[in-house]
Structure 1
Amino acid sequence: MEQGGRDPPVPRVAVVVFLLKGNTVLLGRRRNSHGDSTYALPGGHLEFGESFEECAGREVEEETGMKIEGTELLTVTNNVFRDGEKPLHYVTVFMRARPEDEGEEPRNMEPGKCDGWGWYEWKEEGLPTPLFGPLERMVASGFNPFPTQPQQH
């Protein structure tokens, strides 16, 4: 234990999803103390025994009401947040998927955590601001969540 009787912060695992439709990606505006008012991908905490694909599907459905398909691993980032009320450390697993039903629109299933969802073009001038820190760093690095080869349906 740390001095003062508090346990040291422990890294957590988050799974987030680049949900793609055409040349757009789904983003929602966060409503919570960590990253409040920034735009982020749907996602959340990995539960014990859950695969990345299972977590991605569960989180997208819990947050948007949408089912996904074609889920695949893109990359993993290590994110330490030292500012704020308490320090946080997240290992973030970035997945890519597409909606099972391309015509379905996302619903805001967790209004206490999100102001709503929207489809945004994946180019700097097409993305809303401010972006959630880890996503902002990916955009700045030139990361592209879209497949380089057309996907077969």
Structure 2
Amino acid sequence: MESTGVVPSPRVAVVVFLLKGNKVLLGRRLTPVGRHTFALPGGHLEFGESFEECAAREVKEETGLDISKIEYLTVTNNVYSKNPSNPLHIVAVFMRAIQAEPTQVAQNLEPEKCESWDWYDWKNLPRPLFGPLQAMADNGFNPFPADHEND
């Protein structure tokens, strides 16, 4: 592989656990990274944007939903090196939120990136999950608040 002299840089993504009861909103990805896996709504942080602003913007752009009670949960470091000519390093900031208006219905506003959006019980998630989300679920991560009864 010839070196172009350009060193790849990590990108920051903000990803949202949008919660409703014991369910989370997931969409089936159609993008090259993670194609056909189920993932949370989210996207890349824009310059000067707070994590909360990015979370609200991305969920609105992808699903049409307005969110509230946006909180930081955790961060993961994800390096994808399967394609050495196009390595990818994403720092994913995971947030938690609820719908601002519970009667709103998720729409698929980016059909070129996502097949559809639906609500899935946290204890019965669809497969395959997007890599970082699968790792979190495998490690027992719980996106619900401590006072939430997740039976």
- TM-score tier (shorter): over 0.9
Q: Distance in 2 between matches of 1:103 and 1:120?
A: 17
Q: Distance in 2 between matches of 1:5 and 1:143?
A: 40
1:33 aligns with 2:29: no
TM-superposed deviation, 1:3 = 4.9
Is the partner of 1:104 in helix, strand or coil? Answer: coil
Matches within 5 A, 1:105-116: 105-116=105-116
Using the size of structure 2 for normalisation, the TM-score is 0.94
Q: Distance in 1 between matches of 2:71 and 2:12?
A: 17
Q: Which sections of structure 1, spanning at least 5 residues, go unmatched?
A: none
Number of matched pairs: 148
* 2:125 corresponds to which of 118, 124, 127: 127
Is the partner of 1:129 in helix, strand or coil? Answer: coil
TM-superposed deviation, 1:6 = 4.6
Q: Distance in 2 between matches of 1:116 and 1:92?
A: 22
**What letter corresponds to residue 108 of structure 1 in structure 2?**
N
Q: State the percentage of identical aligned residues.
A: 61
Q: Distance in 1 between matches of 2:97 and 2:3?
A: 44
Is the partner of 1:5 in helix, strand or coil? Answer: coil
Is the partner of 1:62 in helix, strand or coil? Answer: helix
CA RMSD of aligned residues (A): 1.6
Runs (4 or more) in structure 1 with deviation over 4 Å come to none
Q: Which sections of structure 2, spanning at least 5 residues, go unmatched?
A: none
TM-superposed deviation, 1:149 = 1.5
